[in-house]
């Protein structure tokens, strides 16, 4: 049975029974089940924690599906029950449009209908914009022994979406891939170096389907960093024959805990250096992903972690926005609409996606969008309010931005303030001079300063 049609039917039945429709995580699980994958495989490929899928998403999903089907559903019987249920529902339909969908499921366009853009872009989405040269550079780098890659940018620039594709590429090479999102770590663990390193080791062992065996390697006399290093070297890396890609997302959260950061970041650096002299460490390839907005509250003017290959994600170009507009079904061939949109949002990936989503649905015209975009109650409310809240905590930074947005030509700022505003994506820098990134910020922050 065509899976897209099945998902569409299940969504309809959920809504009819006054349940919410399937969310992205639930759809990922169902697609994985259809491909006979384990929760561990499904979660890793999608960039989630296996425990989250196993203990949170799947039980709730099967509970809701059990209610509409009237039978107890599990991962094991999910496919049989759903296909039987949808077949029954289909034969009861008398409307020609439903029969047409059943006879020709290829006409169903479930995957290509734009979903509200939020978070990372799924692997199979037609609305992902491939960054060809950047991605090829990363793909080449992860094949190098002992590689370390740092993917950095302000929030909502596509870091996690890129990470998903790098992990998918590594899977295709036959590598072991481990993805850990530090947003899922308890604050108590993040506040204690020893607990954090044990958490790291235990999670990696479980994703490699190995017993944690932490106590066999942890030695209080040696300390947690040496214990963790020996655990990696003598237990994890020794037990595998292919490279291990360890992806750490939202590493910026570590920097909010100075003591843990002081231990953990130098530890990553030491593993990277070990690969230059010990072959076993060449199996480990590190992907470190972090938001540059963490620089704002820190008392520094440069990245606290400067080893490996840096990958900085930039705004979309005119040509890339044109390509994305086409994916959303917008005919903007003359380029004038692209020019107007980019003047407003500067090619910012999340802001461009939001605009194209609303425009493709016919909810608003481009003229209307450009008029209301800087108003904090409209489609960019969360984005703008997040920046405003950060600036309220940094009066000196807010004053510096006010200077930029009210200037008629590029201005020179204190280097540290320039670095922080640039790290937030609010300004563009050329040499030692700064201008506001886009008209959206100019209009919004001008109104706020009045």
Per-residue confidence at 244, pLDDT binned at 50, 70, 90?
very high
d(CA 67, CA 65): 5
Phi, psi for residue 377 in degrees, rounded to 5? -95, 0
Radius of gyration of the chain (CA): 24
Q: Residue 105: its pLDDT value, please?
A: 39
Whether the model pTM is above 0.75 = no
Comparing CA positions, the residue from 387, 399, 392, 403 lying closest to residue 435 is 403
Dump pLDDT digits (tens) for 381-411. 889 999 999 999 889 999 999 999 999 899 9
Q: Which of 157, 159, 154 is nearest to 422 (CA)?
A: 154
pLDDT of residue 139: 95
**Cα–Cα dist 85/9, whole Å:** 10
Over residues 79-96, mean pLDDT: 68
For residues 246 and 289, what is the distance between their CA atoms, to the nearest angstrom?
11
Residue 92: band (very low, low, confident or very high) from pLDDT cuts 50, 70, 90: low
Q: Over the chain, what is the mean pLDDT?
A: 86
Number of residues that make up the chain:
450
| Average pLDDT over every residue of 44-70 | 82
Can you tell me the distance from the alpha carbon of 190 to that of 183, in angstroms, rounded to the nearest whole number? Answer: 10
| Domains parsed from the chain with CATH numbers | 3-104 (no CATH), 132-312 (3.40.50.300), 318-371 (no CATH), 382-449 (no CATH)
Is 90 exceeded by the pLDDT of residue 249?
Answer: yes
Q: Name which residue leads in pLDDT, 109 or 72.
A: 72
Confidence band for 231, pLDDT divided at 50, 70 and 90:
very high
Q: How confident is the model over 268-312, as pLDDT tens digits? A: 999 999 999 999 999 999 999 988 877 666 555 445 568 899 999
Mean pLDDT across the stretch 101-110?
A: 39
Q: Write out pLDDT tens, residues 277-288.
A: 999 999 999 999
Q: What is the pLDDT of residue 4?
A: 75
Cβ atoms 434, 428 nearer than 8 A: yes
Above 80 in pLDDT, residue 29? Answer: yes
- Mean pLDDT over residues 413-421, rounded? 91
Query: What does the pLDDT average to over 116-124?
Result: 86
Q: Is the pLDDT of residue 156 over 50?
A: yes
Q: Return the DSSP state at 106.
A: G
Instruction: State the pLDDT at residue 103.
Output: 38
Task: For 342-372, write each residue's pLDDT tens digit.
Answer: 999 999 999 999 999 999 988 889 999 999 8
Tell me whether residue 108 is exposed, middle or buried, using C-beta atoms within 10 angstroms of its C-beta: 0 to 12, 13 to 18, 19 or more.
buried
Closest to 403 (Cα-Cα) out of 372, 373, 433: 433
């Amino acid at each position: 049975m065509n899976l897209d049609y099945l998902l569409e039917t299940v969504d309809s039945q959920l809504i009819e029974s006054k349940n919410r429709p399937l969310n992205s995580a639930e759809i990922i699980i169902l697609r994985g089940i259809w491909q006979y994958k384990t929760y561990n495989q499904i979660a890793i490929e999608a960039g989630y924690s296996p425990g989250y899928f196993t203990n949170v998403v799947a039980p709730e999903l099967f509970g809701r599906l059990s209610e509409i089907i009237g039978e107890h559903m599990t991962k094991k019987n999910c496919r049989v029950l759903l296909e039987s249920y949808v077949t029954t529902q289909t034969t009861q339909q008398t409307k020609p449009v439903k029969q047409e969908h059943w006879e020709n499921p290829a006409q169903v366009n479930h995957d290509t209908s734009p979903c509200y853009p939020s978070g990372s872009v799924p692997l199979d989405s037609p609305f992902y914009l491939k960054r060809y040269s950047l991605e090829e550079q990363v793909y080449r780098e992860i094949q190098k022994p002992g590689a370390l890659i740092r993917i950095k940018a302000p929030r909502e620039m596509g870091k996690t979406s890129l990470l998903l594709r790098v992990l998918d590429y590594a899977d295709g090479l036959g590598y072991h891939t481990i993805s850990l999102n530090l947003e899922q770590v308890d604050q108590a663990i993040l506040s204690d170096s020893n607990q954090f390193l044990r958490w790291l080791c235990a999670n990696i062992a479980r994703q490699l389907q190995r017993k944690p065996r932490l106590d066999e390697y942890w030695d209080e006399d040696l300390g947690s960093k040496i214990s963790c290093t020996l655990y990696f070297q003598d237990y994890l890396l020794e037990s595998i024959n292919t490279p291990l890609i360890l992806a750490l997302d939202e590493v910026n959260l570590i920097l909010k805990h100075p003591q843990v950061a002081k231990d953990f970041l130098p530890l990553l650096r030491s593993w990277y250096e070990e690969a230059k002299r010990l072959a076993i460490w060449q199996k480990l390839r590190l992907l470190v992903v972090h938001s540059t907005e963490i620089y704002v509250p820190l008392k520094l003017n440069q990245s606290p972690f400067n080893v490996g290959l840096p990958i900085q994600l930039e705004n979309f170009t005119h040509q890339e926005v044109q390509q994305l507009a086409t994916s959303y079904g917008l005919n903007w061939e003359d380029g004038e609409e692209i020019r107007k949109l980019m003047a407003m949002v500067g090619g910012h990936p999340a802001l461009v996606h939001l605009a194209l989503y609303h425009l493709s649905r016919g909810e608003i015209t481009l003229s209307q969008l450009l008029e209301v975009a800087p108003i904090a109650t409209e489609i960019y409310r969360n984005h703008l309010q997040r920046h405003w809240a950060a600036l309220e905590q940094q009066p000196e930074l807010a004053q510096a931005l006010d200077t930029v947005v009210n200037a008629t030509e590029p201005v020179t700022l204190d280097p540290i303030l320039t670095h922080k505003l640039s790290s937030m994506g609010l300004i563009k820098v050329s040499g030692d001079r700064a201008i506001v990134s886009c008209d959206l910020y100019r209009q919004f922050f001008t109104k706020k300063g009045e």
